Amino acid sequence: MTELDEIDRKLLRALAQDATQSAGALGRRFGLSQPATWRRIRRLEEAGVIKGRRLRLNAEALGFGVTVFLGVKLARKGRVSLEDFERAVSAIPEVQTVEHVLGLYDYRLRVVARDLADFERVLRRRIMTLPGAGEVEANVLLSEERLPGPIG
């Protein structure tokens, strides 16, 4: 586990908002030299605290008007291998995230579609036909906000 100091937390918070900021600019903001800032960012990356970068795209402007979260229960547990289901569901381009969960459902999927008709097509043709897929619950995303989390 990586311990962070105050400056690490500030850097992490700044990079989670905008990862394109240069080490020089961040250093000036937090009172560090450019090389010192660069070393700290490097350390956060090497420790796996910064797992990577994500491009923030405007889904709606790209024609993806609907995001739906699906709770999926596997039908015949034990008889279908989880790997088969996981491999098949991860290969669907419209499925953005696949989470294995414990509780009311077995998997939680984030699905994008052009509109509700397009979503219905994905659901019927691609998701309901997956090996082992059972009961499905759909919730249409209305709003979403990501928060900085417990880093000061």
Q: Which residues bind other proteins (CB under 8 A)?
A: 1-2, 4, 12, 15-20, 47-59, 61-62, 64, 69, 71, 86, 89-90, 93-105, 108, 110, 112, 137-147, 149-151
Q: Shortest distance, CB of residue 40 to other proteins, whole angstroms?
A: 13
What does the alpha-carbon distance between residue 69 and residue 99 come to, in Å, rounded to a whole number? 11
Residue 32 or 95 with smaller CB distance to other proteins: 95
> What are the structure tokens assigned to 140, written together?
């249409």
State which residue, 129 or 139, has the beta carbon closest to other proteins. Answer: 139
Beta bridge partners of 72: 107, 136
Q: How far is the CB of 33 from other proteins (least distance, A)?
A: 21
H/E run at residue 44? helix 34-46
Q: How far is it, in rounded angstroms, from Cα 96 to Cα 36? A: 36
Contact by Cβ (8 Å): 71, 90? no
Minimum CB–partner distance for residue 19 and other proteins (Å): 4
